[in-house]
A and B are shown apart, each in its own frame.
Chain A
Amino acid sequence: MSDELSQLPQAERCTNLLCKGLYLNVGQPPGKRVTGDGNFWCGKTQTIIGPDRNFVGDGECRHTGRSCYEGNT
């Protein structure tokens, strides 16, 4: 399953950003999802507030300028 997780289109987001969809859509055929993203949380802090004390989310965690942002490169 971990290989499939890594193939999900999450490259633009901070790699620490987690959401329900990552754990429900795993294993689905390419392009198919059984649910949307759902609610987000930070994998580092395990809350909706990131290490920099700002909120996390799909929009909020695409900013490479955030001090806590970690890309997949």
Chain B
Amino acid sequence: MAEERKFGWGPRKDNVLIGKSIQRIDGFEKVSGKAQYTADINTPGTLYAKLLTCTHAHAKLKKLDVEPAKKIPGVRAVYIFPAGDLKAEGAGEIFWDGTLIAAVAADRPEIAEDGVKAIIAEYEVLDHIVDEEDLKAAEAKGATKAVGKNAKGKVEDALKTAKHVHKGYYGVHTISHMCLEPHGTHCEWKADEVLDIHASTQNVSGLAGQFAGPLGIDAAKVLVTANFEGGGFGSKFAADEWGIAAAKMAKETGKPVKLMLDRATELKAAGTRPSGYIDVTLGADETGKIVAWDSHHWGSGGISGGSIPVGGIPYVFDFENRSRTATQLNCNVGPTRAWRAPPHPQLCILTHCAIDDLAMKMGKDSYDVFLTNLEQTAGTAAHLPETYKAEMEIAAKLIGWKEKWHPHGKDAGKGAVKRGLGMALHTWGGGAGGCACNVKIHADGSVESFVGSQDIGTGTRTVIAITLAETFGLPLTAIKVNLGSNQYPASAASGGSITVGGVSGAHRRAAQTALWKIFDLVAAKYKVDAGTLAAKEGSIVSGDKKVCTWKQASMLLGPMGLETKGEGPAEDGLTSSRVGGVQMADVSVDSETGIVRINKYVAVQDCGLIIDELTAKSQIYGAVIMGIAYALSEERVMDKKTGRYINADLQNYKLPRIGDIGEIVVNIYQPDSEYSRGVIGLGEPPVISPGAAISNAVANALGVRVPVVPLTPQRVLAALSKSKGGAA
């Protein structure tokens, strides 16, 4: 029989758990406070560390005196970061507000804060540049670098002969990751020089080596645990210098040290999404088909690069005649890190707002222009144009596009509040990540899994439990999932939407391998054909006939039970990659106050085979909310004069409240053709379109483009003023 056995998912109609809406298995722990995040770890004797950071955008550290801090009772250690080490090679130059200078570990947090205040740091302030939008000013200061240029076709000729030509400027400001659980670690040295770390990380299996190198110990002596995580969004793959600081101070004091970033440092130093701005000219023929694209975009990922690359513009689409160039600005701002779907949200805004304005110029329905150009989707899977078309139809129906759409700026309402519709579409890979797992079936029938992956808030535990329970025909309560430790089989970091494919594929393989062994034992014992056996409702059945219970079958494994290994990814159909999605926004804009309200937001998304519809939908709801945030209010505000990040706190860094969200309608596009593709990641794609879709809806409402996202009241009013001949 073995040669006929192939890994695969069962027929969709037979699934008991897969594809259903199932609550998270760790939901109670999370809502009750029982779940322990890194910030909750307080082993006996733990010291608390606080940070001294530089408050200048560009400066030379001239003096650092930490002795006053050391004299404070209760202060146990002071650590000087490389930027504060004046004895080091090339020491002293500071490049951004928020640079870490020193850390103080003390018996209590407030003593550590006193220690930080006691440190004397003197700087020579240097010239800085923090305005990422002002390309000319950056060029004048020599703070730019060409990062790419390529072209195809005959752009100039195509623009000359195009029926409609639009020239526009668009942009999206930098945002910070704003992880509600800040970056940080709890470090404790145990016997035999073993370092026991609790970390807020997306990279459980990849951290040991990162700590071991700087500490001069073997990676085998580093234990990493991350049972729960309160958000990473792409910013938590490194050990980080504050993690090394915690470990070193723990070593020095012989006590555990916990160092969690304060909110300001979290926003300034622990990751940002780079800005992007574009000058673009595009042309279309009489049908709305885009025949030419000519653009130059720029932005900044901080002082050392990381801006939006030249590829990817135009986003989703590519045109026969296309030219694009990109410039990077090196600004005195905190360094960028990957932010959920990098850099697709920016690419989507820079491209789809231009296409929408082209539609406005043509007097055409934006929906029709996007539809006309679906045949020009490029660099994406062949199935996507048809998928986009189907998703556009669903989204249009859900938001009432036909009934509500009006030409740009032609809302029939007479008041100051104007209503409009906008749309955008996106794509993402989401292939399966590398994963190894062990699945253990105990002789009493209980099932455990061990995997060095992590649940970064996405529902990984639940997905694994569903996969195993479905395979073994057991209830979810029969499955115990062990993850979040580097002592389990190694798994790739969680990023790029690769975790669900990685863990579900590997666990299905391990589970099917185990099940086939059990079937062979049952077949021999009960004299039935193993090829007829199935695991259902806690039993092993042959057709309609119950052969034995799951427990009886498990006892056949002997007292040691059975442990099987699963690995992935593999080309066996369990997982796949490449998804698409369409989103539409219905907004109201108060033309007197500039306030934008979301009336309704529709997100239609394909993602192959869905393990848990509830967690899949939660991903989309969360992504849309995150998208509404960066579309309407969220941005890093840099003071041009001082070079400081002036809203690095939860009060002034504007995130949406419940009343700002509006109605969100999520529709997962999942015909059987999607189910048969296997599992594909979903974490990133739904966060891509909101900026463009909402901006386009505002343009439809007002008949005026607010060029830069987020669409704050100030920017809306400035755009309206400019359209009437006033100052922008």
Contact = CB atoms under 8 A, between A and B. Distances in A.
A52 B82 CA distance: 10
A53 B93 contact: yes
Given A34-B498, A51-B89, A28 B237 contact: no
Interface residues of A, number: 35
B357 to A, nearest CB: 30
B568 A27 contact: yes
B131 to A, nearest CB: 21
B5 to A, nearest CB: 22
B490 A34 contact: no
A51 B90 CA distance: 9
Contacts of B498: 24, 34-35
A25 to B, nearest CB: 8
A1 B338 contact: no
Contacts of A47: 82, 240-241, 335
Nearest to A4: B434
A55 B490 contact: no
A46 B241 contact: yes
B373 interface: no
**Interface core residue of A4, A27, A52, A67 (most chain B CB under 10 Å):** A27
A18 B89 contact: no
Nearest to B681: A34
Interface residues of B, number: 54
A23 B431 contact: no
A16 B212 CA distance: 12
Nearest to A23: B493
B214 A46 contact: yes
Contacts of A52: 89-90
A18 B434 contact: no
A39 B337 contact: yes
A57 B338 contact: no
A2 to B, nearest CB: 8
Contacts of B241: 45-47
Nearest to B302: A48
Interface string B257-270: 00000000000000
Contact of B495 (A18, A24, A49, A57): A24
Contacts of B82: 45, 47, 49, 51, 53
Interface in A35-73: 35, 38-39, 41, 43-49, 51-57, 60, 67
Interface string B426-468: 0001011111100000000000000000000000000000000
Chain B contact residues: over half helix, strand or loop, or mixed? Answer: loop
A47 to B, nearest CB: 5
**Interface core residue of B209, B213, B432 (most chain A CB under 10 Å):** B213
A23 B89 contact: no
Given A38-B342, A55-B303, A23 B569 contact: no
Contact of A48 (B90, B205, B335): B335
Given A34-B433, A39-B337, A46 B244 contact: yes
Nearest to A19: B237
A34 B305 contact: no
B496 A35 contact: yes
A45 B83 CA distance: 10
Nearest to B571: A29
B577 A34 contact: yes
Interface in B198-253: 203, 205-206, 209-210, 213-214, 234, 237-241, 243-244
Given A4-B434, A39-B336, A47-B241, A23 B492 contact: yes
A46 B491 CA distance: 21
B139 to A, nearest CB: 20
Contacts of A20: 234, 237, 338, 493, 495
Contact of B433 (A27, A38, A41): A27
7 tightest A-B CB contacts, nearest first: A27-B434, A53-B90, A1-B490, A55-B304, A23-B493, A35-B496, A23-B206
Interface of B: 82-83, 88-91, 93, 95, 203, 205-206, 209-210, 213-214, 234, 237-241, 243-244, 301-306, 335-338, 342, 429, 431-436, 490-493, 495-496, 498, 502, 567-569, 571, 577
19 contacts: A18-B210, A18-B238, A22-B206, A23-B493, A24-B496, A27-B436, A27-B567, A27-B569, A34-B432, A35-B498, A39-B336, A47-B241, A48-B335, A51-B82, A52-B90, A53-B90, A55-B303, A55-B305, A57-B304
Interface of A: 1-2, 4, 16, 18, 20, 22-29, 34-35, 38-39, 41, 43-49, 51-57, 60, 67
